């Protein structure tokens, strides 16, 4: 399930700086085309040296996502109990968890065809959903919906990705809640740190 959800993240690597002014559908379309092109062209290089994947994700994926809001959604009702310091650390660790998992999965994808469904949003909307379907080598298409909100400067940020009806944010809420109930918010942070440290090979 996580791999399917992270497929949605995989398709959102940023274009050059003018992408911030694009409307939601154009932003999703141009960035999806960009990431798939990069993976196809550099697959051998990226497989040989994984640092290239991490660099690509850090430089190109992160600007499009609001990990603070995503972390708030994943923590659910426990968010209001956390201090500002704890909130920031959870967001940082959650970001690293997703980036490293996503970077690993990224190399296994390169031949997807993306279908963009009719857009139903209005120009004045501040929150929108962009719906797509990803066709995987003859298998059934995977519906992926991107939830975005518009910042005061007009830039669109992604705050959730829904794959086949399952929200990335909600998918983590259960495990985060169980950890908080067992060991508190600091226990959750410690668990995330331990996992990320292991993934870094530290």
Look at residue 25 and tell me whether its pLDDT is greater than 60.
Answer: yes
Look at residue 1 and tell me whether its pLDDT is greater than 60.
Answer: no
Look at residue 46 and tell me whether its pLDDT is greater than 90.
Answer: no
Most confident region among 23-37, 40-54, 118-132 by mean pLDDT: 118-132
Q: What is the mean pLDDT of the chain?
A: 82
Query: Quick one: pLDDT at residue 137?
Result: 73
Query: Quick one: pLDDT at residue 12?
Result: 59
Alpha helix positions (H), the chain: 2-10, 24-48, 51-60, 67-75, 84-106, 168-200
* Structure tokens belonging to residue 132: 């797509």
pTM (whole model) above 0.75: yes
Most confident region among 40-49, 65-74, 140-149 by mean pLDDT: 65-74
Query: Quick one: pLDDT at residue 69?
Result: 96
CATH fold, domain 2-200, is Nuclear Transport Factor 2; Chain: A, (3.10.450)
Bridge partner list, 145: 131, 162
Q: Beginning with the edge strand found earlier in the chain, give each strand of the sheet holding 113-116 in spatial order.
A: 113-116, 127-135, 142-150, 156-163, 166-167
pLDDT digits (tens, 9 = 90+) for 88-115: 999 999 998 887 776 766 667 656 778 8
Going from N- to C-terminal start, the domains of the chain cover 2-200
pLDDT digits (tens, 9 = 90+) for 126-166: 999 999 888 877 778 888 898 999 999 888 998 998 888 88
Q: At what angle do helices 2-10 and 84-106 cross, to 10 degrees?
A: 90
Residue bearing tokens 């399917």: 4
Confidence of residue 16 (pLDDT cuts 50, 70, 90): very low
Query: Quick one: pLDDT at residue 67?
Result: 92
């Amino acid at each position: 399930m996580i791999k399917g959800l992270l497929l949605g993240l995989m398709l959102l690597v940023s274009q050059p700086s003018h992408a911030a002014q694009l409307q939601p559908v154009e932003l999703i379309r141009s960035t999806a085309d960009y990431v798939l092109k990069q993976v196809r062209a550099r697959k051998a290089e990226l497989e040989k040296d994984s640092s290239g994947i991490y660099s690509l994700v850090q430089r190109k994926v992160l600007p499009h996502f609001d990990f603070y809001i995503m972390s708030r959604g994943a923590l659910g009702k426990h968010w209001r109990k956390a201090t500002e310091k704890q909130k920031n650390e959870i967001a940082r660790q959650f970001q690293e968890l997703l980036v490293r998992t996503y970077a690993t999965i990224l190399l296994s994808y390169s031949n997807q065809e993306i279908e963009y469904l009719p857009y139903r949003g209005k120009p004045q909307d501040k929150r929108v959903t962009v719906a797509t379907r990803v066709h995987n080598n003859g298998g059934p298409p995977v519906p992926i919906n991107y939830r975005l909100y518009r910042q005061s400067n007009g830039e669109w940020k992604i705050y959730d990705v829904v794959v086949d009806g399952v929200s990335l944010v909600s998918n983590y809420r259960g495990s985060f809640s169980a950890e908080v109930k067992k060991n508190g918010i600091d226990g959750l942070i410690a668990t995330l740190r331990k996992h990320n440290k292991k993934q870094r090979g530290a």
